[in-house]
Amino acid sequence: MPMVSMRQLLDEAAQGGYGVGAFNVHNMEQIQAIMEAARATSSPVIIQASRGARSYTNDRFLYHLMMAATELYPEIPVALHQDHGNSPETCKSAIDLGFTSVMMDGSLEEDGKTPASFEYNVAVTREVVEAAHARGVTVEGELGTLGGIEDGVGSGEVHLTDPDQAVEFVAATGIDALAVAIGTSHGAYKFSRKPDGEVLAMSLIEEIHQRLPETHLVMHGSSSVPRELVDEINRYGGQMKESWGVPVEEIQRGIQHGVRKINVDTDSRLAITGAIRKHLAEHPSDFDPRDYLKPARAAMQQVIEARMTAFGQAGHAGDYEPIPLEEMRERYRTGALA
């Protein structure tokens, strides 16, 4: 099956009332782990690459690994997505490379750090929507900035997504999916206690979904940071601090209220690192990378399968045929997807 647009995956997910995990990759073993998990659970899936991942893999390696994935797993609908594009140029280069979806993260300026103005965000996102939809490619935008409520951002300010602004932003940009800031942050240290309504604003998702029932919502920073994965790392020489991630039940609550894309990277990294540490600690004389990369890949697959099942995408791989990007382009042009 050729790669499909993320818009199609998310429209199908909305119809079926489930969420789709968007898993970050930067090497072959991670792509294999995700595709094996998708096959084992019969799941459609989003594979995403950050700018850092694109530079680490060199775009060409990444692209051809993804081509191999579609060739070897023809029954799996898979979208290739640019995660956190920092500029229209980054997004356009991804489209040129063959990505079927891009995120223009105009919530931050091009440095990827400084919170941007609403006007800047609208302008760069609108520019990407025009370029992407003309090629049938999906666009995700972001409003509000990640960074936990506990961390604050900059001077302690918190930039949760404002529902009124969200309505204005979607109307002004024409995006397909909206990433909302509800108090999560990237990485392994999200919360210093199990998150409750004070640090994880799930109610905001409900409000935004009521106001924008047709817009697919995206949760970033959605790793659950399972205690057992952190313990495994520390048992074999790691030094990770105690922390809490986003409980799977909270993500499931989000899925009931319009969350269709759930971004997970850290949980894969934890699974891989724990398995490699364990293997090397138990087999100190091993030096063939395959000896520790195989259990690492299997550990990541196990986490991804669990997420696919919890998000509800399992069992849906065979529900539909891919719509070619040319046809998506036509649907955008005629307003059929507005």
Using CB under 6 A as the binding rule, whether residue 223 contacts ligand 13P is answered as yes
HSE toward the beta carbon, residue 259, CA cutoff 13 A: 29
Using CB under 6 A as the binding rule, whether residue 148 contacts ligand 13P is answered as no
Strand, helix or coil for residue 206: helix
Using CB under 6 A as the binding rule, whether residue 331 contacts ligand 13P is answered as no
Whether 288 is catalytic is no
Smallest separation, CB 211 to ligand G3H (Å): 26
Using CB under 6 A as the binding rule, whether residue 186 contacts ligand 13P is answered as yes
Q: How far apart are CA 105 and CA 115, in angstroms?
A: 10
Member of 11, 12, 29, 83 binding ligand G3H (CB under 6 A): 83
188 with 243: CB under 8 angstroms?
yes
Member of 41, 266, 273, 313 binding ligand 13P (CB under 6 A): 266
Q: DSSP string spanning 103-156?
A: EE-TTB-TTSSSBPPHHHHHHHHHHHHHHHHTTT-EEEEEES--S-TTT-BTTT
Residues near Zn ion (CB under 5 A) are 220, 263
Backbone φ/ψ region at 237: left (φ over 0), alpha (ψ -120 to 50), beta: left
Look at residue 270 and give the partner it binds from Zn ion, ligand G3H, ligand 13P, none, a contact being a CB closer than 5 to 8 Å depending on partner kind. none
Nearest to ligand G3H of 140, 265 (CB atom): 265
Of 83, 176, 265, 267, which one is the catalytic site residue?
83
Using CB under 6 A as the binding rule, whether residue 50 contacts ligand G3H is answered as yes
Look at residue 264 and give the partner it binds from Zn ion, ligand G3H, ligand 13P, none, a contact being a CB closer than 5 to 8 Å depending on partner kind. ligand 13P
Q: DSSP string spanning 265-277?
A: -HHHHHHHHHHHH
Nearest to ligand 13P of 137, 218 (CB atom): 218
Q: How far apart are CA 284 and CA 277, in angstroms?
A: 10
Using CB under 6 A as the binding rule, whether residue 84 contacts ligand G3H is answered as yes
Q: How far apart are CA 176 and CA 62, in angstroms?
A: 24
Strand, helix or coil for residue 59: helix
Using CB under 6 A as the binding rule, whether residue 161 contacts ligand G3H is answered as no
Smallest separation, CB 40 to ligand G3H (Å): 24
Nearest to Zn ion of 87, 263 (CB atom): 263
Q: How far apart are CA 159 and CA 161, in angstroms?
A: 6
**Site residues for ligand 13P per CB under 6 A:** 24, 83-84, 186-187, 220-223, 263-266
Query: Residues with catalytic annotation?
Result: 83
